[in-house]
Amino acid sequence: MKVVVGLGNPGRQYAATRHNIGFMVIDRLARELNVAVNKKMCNSLVGQGLIDREKIMLAMPQTFMNLSGQAVGALLNWYKLNPSDLVVVYDDLDLPTGILRIRPSGGSGGHKGMLSIMGVLGTENFTRVRVGIGRPEVVDMETADYVLSRLDPKEIEEALKTAAGAVACIVRDGLEKAMNLYNRR
């Protein structure tokens, strides 16, 4: 079983913001797999499905971004899974909008949701799918204001489709193949 977690903030006011790219990818993947992500469990909204024959749990933590580790740790503990069974999808300021980077491990890059997960799990060794949201064009714009600003759905539709495909590839074909296919884009 793989646990695929999209990072974001709960609530309508955050629904279409840059910081909620992870939730948007989970929504996209859930639609493609015909999975309802609506069961409340371990401080998350979850839904189970299959990619080929591999069981997956799609999850959207409801703890707010900076406490994502609480939900992720609880899910892994509940299912008795290891960090190697985890795929985290989240926004990245340091990548141009829509560009993906898949990695088997690494630092947080200053992302507080990732810091929380690494702190709770005690490791940085888990798969991550970073989805670029770019940097603000306005030089003096605060980072928090930028990541919580709204996106034009057309601006990221292709990125959501690609990120959902990358997650499916990770589960179906393995991390190395997914990195070879999707990190080139």
Q: 18 to each of 33, 106, 136, 180, how far by Cα in Å? A: 24, 22, 11, 26
**Which residue in this structure is represented by tokens 């605060």?**
142
Q: What is the pLDDT of residue 185?
A: 58
- pTM equals 0.95
- For residue 113, give both structure tokens: 């949701």
> Into how many domains does the chain fold?
1
The secondary structure of the chain, three-state, reads: CEEEEECCCCCHHHCCEHHHHHHHHHHHHHHHHCCCCCEEECCEEEEEEEECCEEEEEEEECCCHHHHHHHHHHHHHHCCCCHHHEEEEEEECCCCCCCEEEECCCCCCCCHHHHHHHHHHCCCCCEEEEEECCCCCCCCCCHHHHHCCECCHHHHHHHHHHHHHHHHHHHHHCHHHHHHHHCCC
Phi and psi at residue 14, in whole multiples of 5°? -105, -5
Helix (H) or strand (E) holding 73: helix 68-78
Please report, in tens digits, the pLDDT of each residue of the chain (185 residues total).
999 999 999 999 998 899 999 999 999 999 999 999 999 999 999 999 999 999 999 999 999 999 999 999 999 999 999 999 999 999 999 999 999 999 999 999 999 999 999 999 999 999 999 999 988 887 788 888 888 888 877 888 999 999 999 999 999 999 999 999 999 75
Residue 134: HSE in the Cβ half-sphere, 13 Å Cα cutoff = 13
Residue 184: strand, helix, or coil = coil
Q: What is the pLDDT of residue 55?
A: 96
The closest alpha carbon to 19, from 167, 142, 175, belongs to: 142
| CATH number, domain with residue 24 | 3.40.50.1470
Active-site residue list: 19
Start-to-end Cα distance in the chain: 28
Q: What is the pLDDT of residue 179?
A: 97
Domain that includes residue 88, residue range:
2-182
Q: What is the pLDDT of residue 9?
A: 96
